[in-house]
Amino acid sequence: MIDATPPEELAEDERWMRVALEQARAAAEREEVPVGAVIVHQGRAIAAAHNQREALSDPTAHAEMIAITQAAEALQSWRLLDCTLYVTLEPCPMCAGAVVQARIPRVVYGAADPKAGACHTLYRITDDERLNHRAVVIGGVCEEQSRRLLREFFLRQRRRGKK
Catalytic residue numbers read 64
| Per-position b or e across 66-77, b if 16+ CB within 10 A of its CB | bbbebbbebbee
Neighbours of 152 (CB within 10 A): 12
d(CA 18, CA 117): 21
**Residue whose C-alpha is closest to residue 67's, from 80, 54, 58:** 80
